Amino acid sequence: MSKPTVAIVGRPNVGKSTIFNRIVGERISIVEDVPGVTRDRIYSSAEWLSYQFNIIDTGGIEIEGGQDQIVVQMREQAELAIAEADVIIFMVEAKTGITAADQEVSKILFKSKKPVVLAVNKVDNLKAMDDIYEFYSLGFGEPFPISGAHGTGLGDLLDEAAKHFPNEGEEEYDEDVIRISLIGRPNVGKSSLINALLGEERVIVSPVAGTTRDAIDTPLQRDGQRFVLIDTAGMRKRGKVYEKTEKYSVLRALKAIERSDVVLVTINGEEGIIEQDKKIAGYAHEAGRGIIIVVNKWDAVEKDERTMNEFVKEIRDQFRFLDYAPILFVSAQTKQRVHTLLPKVKDVADQHALRIPTHVLNDIIVDAVSMTPPPTDKGKRLKINYGTQVSVKPPTFILFVNDPELMHFSYERYIQNRIRAAFPFEGTPLRIFVRQKSDGR
């Protein structure tokens, strides 16, 4: 199921980013130190008690223009929250009281019919508590006093926000249904590819509403295998906010990624690779989804016998963290090679769910260690006692060793490559965790 999303909205200088960082904590840092995996500061994951949720910091959105653009900025931030969030934290400031900008935001939020929790920031002492009562007049119920500087009041605020999280329901699709999302920056041809896939299969099914807000799920079937195409949330919805900047494509892609088994990272073959492509692909990699890199609009590219190989080389260089992902060159416009997409999706989904028997895994590890023994560190040598696969989607392994600190990243990568040599795991990332061997074994 998709995690609920919380958006922090408010006029400038009320401390939105400070509160965002307080809630997110260390999760805002880069997860993997690999080229191309970057984090956009306006969107992250967070936890509170037993709840996991996404959080948007609208204070991190860069809007061009001077002070005369404040009202426009507030409207765009509120529109973003309305479109993306399950719960909105409306942040105001105790010392300045209610401003015209606050009232402008409150009008928009009222119309949204979304749950709104009112947070009054910069309540840094007991005296400041007297300043919160006027905010009742905004009409959002009890104002929650918080302090970004001291980190106080956040627990009560998040408790209230969590009351409005959607109830978790059962997964809406059977286990044998492969869920596919197409992600990428605007104008790479995601919608055209979806239409081409549906046309190719001649199975036009009435779209059904997905569990993610503004998403359109379209079932289709090929050779007895059922698929669901998860259109990037709101892809067919017009909105000035999303036309204004490519940054929002990241926000929308994340919701689709969460619900997918296999992600088609779509690139515009005419324009080539830009940083935004790597950012969006990085989220899919970190989420552990099956990944296929799809170069669309290949028919429009002037090419000779070297063009495709050169493009593959550039992709491998720019997307080093996706060295396991297959690359397909297609054209939604001419239907060129579109028929290869679903069979490859099926192959990647099978690899994503593949489980290696424990004895086979340990044979691979023994052979790997025999071929290239672990290096020593200060006279100590790493010893891998045994390994086991603990989960799939993505395939995840635990290696039990004598001392986890002796496992160098390069040797862990070597073990991973040896596993891939025996079982390709095409299109799926692998997760390896190193643990101290217990005395009992």
Binding-site residues, in ranges, read 10-17, 57-61, 121-124, 184-191, 231-235, 296-299
Cα-based torsion angle of the residue sequence 121, 127, 131, 133 in order, rounded to the nearest 10 degrees: 100
* DSSP 8-state secondary structure symbol assigned to residue 406: G
CA distance 389 to 391: 6
CB 218 within 8 A of CB 228: yes
Q: Which residues are annotated as a binding site for GTP?
A: 10-17, 57-61, 121-124, 184-191, 231-235, 296-299
What type of residue sits at position 18? T
* Mode of pairing for the β-strands spanning 116-121 and 51-57: unpaired
For 3, which DSSP code?
P
Which residues face 398 on adjacent strands? 388, 433
Q: Any residues with CB less than 8 A from the CB of 29 and at least 6 apart, and which? A: 39
Q: Which amino acid is at 218?
A: T
Beta strands in 216-261 (DSSP E): 216-222, 225-231
Angle at 285 between CA 171 and CA 26, to 5 degrees: 95
Q: Which amino acid is at 204?
A: I
Cβ atoms of 299 and 336 within 8 Å: the answer is yes
Q: Which structure tokens are listed for 333?
A: 């416009």
Query: What phi and psi, each to the nearest 5 degrees, are found at residue 399?
Result: -105, 125
Let me know: does 267 contact 296? Beta carbons within 8 Å.
yes
CA distance 436 to 210: 43
Strand order in the sheet with 144-145: 43-48, 51-57, 5-9, 87-93, 116-121, 144-145
Instruction: State the Cα–Cα distance between residues 311 and 308, nearest whole angstrom.
Output: 5
